[in-house]
């Protein structure tokens, strides 16, 4: 059994549990600022998470809920312009929340990154999120910078998750093939993308994704766990392991 050469992490929901109290709140702040009578409740936002990407989520909401848009929005070009402006405002609010330290890392993330880095296992990101949002999260929640040598973000590829594109881009930038790597995801949409790219995938669920379909995942756990805070295994074999570490990822990779 050999170690994976790289670990490819999803960002939102995986590195940090940031959808409910991060992205969702920032969307609502942007709606207020733009004087829209829209409000995404915690429950409703969960149903919108099947749409990857903030701009795509706004568009889907307008089209499927008949949400009121400003009077000046008539043509498709104006709609795109409106969504881009609204998403820009949301990004600013989101980055503000990150800077306030309101979004902590999930259990086990820093431990696993530290172990991987010390062992020479390369680290990459494959996210649906816009590049500035992914960078802001990494810079705010991880100490000492430069953890990830590759960041592949939603706006860099033609199709967002569940398409495999962003994982394929991460592999291309790493110069590796899927069989060399393991992906860490939190959502059904993200897991489908990683598996479609040919990656062995470990899923760490959160409040929004627990109970989702993770067909093809090698392992599904409640979080990465810590020595003093073991994970709960929802699917897959972990032997004696009590948290996700390189020894367990070696098994996943070879499985
Ligand atoms: C999750 C997403 C994102 C965020 C919003 O991305 O679907 O759309 O909810 O981010 P992932 P943006 O789990 O793949 O990191 O507003 O930046 O699009
Ligand atoms: Mg995610």
Q: Among 7-11, 37-41, 96-100, which stretch is predicted with the lowest mean pLDDT?
A: 96-100
Does 115 lie in the same domain as 24? no
Assess whether 217 and 134 both reside in one domain.
yes
Do 239 and 114 belong together in one domain?
yes
Question: Domain end: 66, 99, 132, which one?
Answer: 99
| 114 shares its domain with 188 | yes
Find the mean pLDDT for residues 196-203. Answer: 98
Task: Report the atom number in ligand 1 closest to the C-alpha of 52.
Answer: 7
Residue whose CA is at the smallest distance from ligand 1 atom 8: 53
Residue 127 Cβ contacting ligand 1 at under 6 Å: yes
- The tens digit of pLDDT for each residue in 202-249 reads 999 999 999 999 999 999 999 999 999 999 999 999 999 999 999 999
> What is the CA(134)–ligand 1 centre distance, in A?
9
Angstrom CA distances, 252 to 20, 108, 190, 223, 239, stand at: 30, 17, 18, 16, 11
| Ligand 1 probe mutation, 8, 11, 19, 23, most atoms within 8 A of CB | 23
76/112 same-domain check? no
Tell me the three-class secondary structure of 118-166, residue by residue: HCCCEEEEECCCCHHHHHHHHHHHCCCCCCCCEEECHHHCCCCCCCCHH
3-state secondary structure of 185: strand
Q: How is 50-86 classified by DSSP, letter by letter?
A: TS-SHHHHHHHHHHHH-----TT--SHHHHHHHHHHH
Per-residue confidence band for 18, with pLDDT thresholds at 50, 70 and 90: very high
Atom of ligand 1 nearest to the CA of 185: 13
Whether residue 200 is contained in a domain is answered as yes
CATH code for the domain of 87: 1.10.150.240
Q: Does 1 map to a domain?
A: no
Which of ligand 1's atoms lies nearest the C-alpha of 130?
A: 17
Same domain, 84 and 170: no
Q: How many domains does the chain have?
A: 2
- Please tell me the predicted confidence (pLDDT) of residue 1: 80
- Domain C-terminal end among 52, 78, 99: 99
pTM over 0.85: yes
Same structural domain for residues 78 and 180?
no
* Residue ending a domain, choose from 71, 99, 127: 99
CATH number, position 248: 3.40.50.1000
Residues 176 and 62 in one domain: no
| Residue 92 shares a structural domain with residue 197 | no
Question: Is 12 in the active site?
Answer: yes
pLDDT at res. 196: 98
Report pLDDT for 158.
95
The model's pLDDT over 38-84, given as tens digits with 9 standing for 90+, comes to: 999 999 999 999 999 999 999 999 999 989 999 999 999 999 999 99
Q: Is the CB of 161 under 6 A from ligand 1?
A: yes
Ligand 1, pocket-test mutation among 14, 54, 209, most atoms within 8 A of CB: 54
> pLDDT digit string (tens) for 140-179?
988 787 899 999 999 999 999 999 999 999 999 999 999 9
Q: Which domain holds residue 116?
A: 6-17+105-254
């Amino acid at each position: 059994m050999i170690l994976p050469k790289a670990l490819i992490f999803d960002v939102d929901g995986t590195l940090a549990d940031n959808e409910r109290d991060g992205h969702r709140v920032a969307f609502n702040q942007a709606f207020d600022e733009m004087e829209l009578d829209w409000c995404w409740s915690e429950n409703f936002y969960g149903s919108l998470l099947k749409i990857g990407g903030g701009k795509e989520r706004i568009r889907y909401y307008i089209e499927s809920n008949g949400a009121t848009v400003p009077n000046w929005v008539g043509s498709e070009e104006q709609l795109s312009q409106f969504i881009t402006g609204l998403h820009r405002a949301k990004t600013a609010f989101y980055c503000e929340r990150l800077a306030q330290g309101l979004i902590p890392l999930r259990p086990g993330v820093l431990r696993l990154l530290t172990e991987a880095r010390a062992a020479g296992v390369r680290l990459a990101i494959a996210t649906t999120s816009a590049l500035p949002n992914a960078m802001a999260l990494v810079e705010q929640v991880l100490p000492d910078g430069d953890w990830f040598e590759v960041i592949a973000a939603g706006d860099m590829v033609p199709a967002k998750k569940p398409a495999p594109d962003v994982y394929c881009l991460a592999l291309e930038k790493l110069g590796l093939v899927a069989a060399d790597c393991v992906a860490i995801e939190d959502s059904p949409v993200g897991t489908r993308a990683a598996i479609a790219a040919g990656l062995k995938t470990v899923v760490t669920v959160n409040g929004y994704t627990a109970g989702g379909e993770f067909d093809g995942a090698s392992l599904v756990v409640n979080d990465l766990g810590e020595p003093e805070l073991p994970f709960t295994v929802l699917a897959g074999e972990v032997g004696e392991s009590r948290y996700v570490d390189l020894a367990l990822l070696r098994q996943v990779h070879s499985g």
